[in-house]
Amino acid sequence: MSREITFKYWNEISEGDAVTSITMDVPFERVILDAAATQDYFPGHHNPAYARHQGQKEIYLNTMAIEGFIDRVATDWAGPHTFIRKRQMQMRSSIYAGDIIQGEGKVEKCYQDDGRYLVDVSINISTESGLCVPAVLTLELPAAQPS
Amino acid sequence: MSEIFNEPFPLAYGTYEDAVKLLNKPGEKVVSEFSVNWEMIKIYCSMVEDGNPSYWDEEYANKQWGGIVAPSGLLLTWPMSLQWHPQKERKHYFIAMTIPLPGDTIINVATNTEFHRHLYLGDRVSVVDELTDVSEEKKTRLGIGHFLTTKAQFFNQRDQLIAVQTNSLFRYYVPEEES
């Protein structure tokens, strides 16, 4: 099923605008796919006994999967013409197999720098247990829709 | 209750003082085994259900970026070492895994990345990283250990800077009574 693609332009965005929320389930299959897709075979991402040895309750998504989901929240909202200039994220709590994640955010700042049209957005990734990964991204967008 | 896992994750072991000696010493430049390829891009995008046409649609990507580009989140994957190689020993390219400390496991804490340009199909990534900070021993809800901060610079085959990443992870052990 194809999704509708939206294109936002810098001059259409205002501070305080909401970033469209996205939800995605995280079954065991996705966590294993994550290890394979990112070539990250650290055992906490595929071996439940190892994850528990680490003090985790279950195998969990790696940083690269979470980055991909954060970026998707940003670019599904702003459009595929977005260049992600900067991403800052903190892993406060792991995202486990069996969780459902939600990404939502808002526009913090719109500004120009060195000829670039930039938007800072805060994006929070949460599960039923609460906030897991807060992030702030700087997005570069076209200034205005081409006439 | 402790459980059995196949084998511990291979890390370098030593003391905090051993780790401090390695501060601000860049490692060797590691060149990725394989080039940026569309197959791995599609597998990654399917994992996070990202339908961005920059990764899937040649016509759109050519017009917007001059070609299919790699998702930013795949940056760390390109230089990952293979699980097995007929000539080479498997080794970590992340310098954090090679820092001698007491903890027997790790968890990532924070990652900040600045991107300078896209990676395109066929590009070959190389990376240089260094340890920039190591904390004294700390106790957290997960266990006892040290926070490591590293800085990695990623380049393409033309030595153009792709991204700079600062990463913090916790190298720790779970005290016996809690494991």
In chain B, where are the structural domains located? 16-35+75-178
Is the CB of B51 less than 8 angstroms away from the CB of A41? no
A89 vs B contacts (CB less than 8 Å): 110-112
Tally of structural domains, chain A: 1
Instruction: Quick: pLDDT tens for A43-87.
Output: 999 999 999 999 999 999 999 999 999 999 999 999 999 999 999
Interface contact A40, partner B, CB < 8 A = yes
Interface contact A68, partner B, CB < 8 A = yes
Mutation for B interface: A38, A86, A129, most B CBs within 10 A: A38
Read off φ and ψ for residue B146, nearest 5 degrees.
-130, 140
DSSP state of B77: T
Give the Cα separation of B81 and B99 in Å (integer). 18
Nearest neighbour of B114 by CB, restricted to A38, A65, A86: A86
| pLDDT at residue B94 in the model | 78
Give the Cα separation of B148 and B143 in Å (integer). 15
CATH of domain B16-35+75-178: 3.10.129.10
Is the CB of A88 less than 8 angstroms away from the CB of B112? yes
| Among A24-38, B76-90, B127-141, the least confident range | B76-90
| pLDDT at residue B1 in the model | 42
| Beta strand pairing call for A116-127 and B138-139 | unpaired
Q: Is residue A135 part of a domain?
A: yes
Q: What is the mean pLDDT of residues A129-137?
A: 98
Give the Cα separation of B134 and B146 in Å (integer). 7
Both tokens of B26, joined, read 């860049």
Nearest neighbour of B105 by CB, restricted to A41, A54, A83: A54
Query: Is residue A129 within 8 Å of A145, Cβ to Cβ?
Result: no
Query: Is residue B129 within 8 Å of B105, Cβ to Cβ?
Result: no
Instruction: Quick: pLDDT tens for B57-108.
Output: 999 999 999 999 999 999 999 998 888 888 887 776 678 889 999 999 999 9
Both tokens of B155, joined, read 């380049």
Is the CB of B5 less than 8 angstroms away from the CB of A50? yes
Q: Is residue A4 part of a domain?
A: no
Structural domain including A14 reads: 10-140
Q: What is the mean pLDDT of chain A?
A: 96
Q: In which residue are the tokens 């900040």 written? A: B112
Indicate which CATH number applies to the domain containing A120: 3.10.129.10
Give the Cα separation of B32 and B120 in Å (integer). 14
Is the CB of B110 less than 8 angstroms away from the CB of A90? yes
Give the Cα separation of B4 and B93 in Å (integer). 27
Q: Is residue A110 part of a domain?
A: yes
| pLDDT at residue B173 in the model | 93
Contacts of A131 (CB under 8 A, 6+ apart): A92, A93, A124, A125
User: How many Cβ atoms from other residues are within 10 Å of residue B100's Cβ?
Assistant: 16
Q: What is the mean pLDDT of chain B?
A: 92
Give the Cα separation of B19 and B15 in Å (integer). 6
Structure pTM?
Answer: 0.95
Confidence of residue A2 (pLDDT cuts 50, 70, 90): confident
Query: Is residue B132 within 8 Å of B24, Cβ to Cβ?
Result: yes
Burial class of residue B157 (count of CB atoms within 10 Å of its CB; 0-12, 13-18, 19+): middle
